[in-house]
Amino acid sequence: MAVYPKHGQSVNELIKNADTARYFAKAQGRKNKQVFSDSMQNDNLKRSHLVNSILSIARLMGMKVIAEGIETEQLAAYLGVKGCVAGQGRLFSEPMAAERLFVN
């Protein structure tokens, strides 16, 4: 959860910070709630540096990157701009059994 004006001055900033808090809540288990904090933002920055590094290494090695765990339009757009060629996650589909993924 993100609260105006403490956690953001614009709608986009509030949505980004609420998404960050939601990510942290999900990491702690089902039906968990979190209020955005500055420490979450620091973790987000570290995660962003890690993603950029992985994508840079993949590019240098001539590899394509497929992202997993995409849950928001914002994340999908970010990864697309950074060079991911495909992705999966709840944004596109709920989890399903392997038998449903493959057609013989």
One domain for residues 4 and 20: yes
Q: What is the DSSP letter of 34?
A: -
Please provide the average confidence, as pLDDT, over all residues in the chain.
79
- Closest C-alpha to 90, from 78, 77, 72, 74: 72
What residues are paired with 66 via a beta bridge? Answer: 86
Quote the pLDDT of residue 30.
65
Helix (H) or strand (E) holding 88: strand 86-88
Q: Which domain holds residue 26?
A: 1-62
Better-predicted residue by pLDDT, 24 or 77? 77
One domain for residues 36 and 16: yes
Quote the pLDDT of residue 77.
87
pLDDT tens digits, 46-87: 778 888 898 899 989 999 988 888 888 888 888 888 888 888
One domain for residues 35 and 83: no
Quote the pLDDT of residue 62.
94
Name the pTM for this structure: 0.54
For the chain, how many structural domains are there in total? Answer: 2
One domain for residues 79 and 100: yes
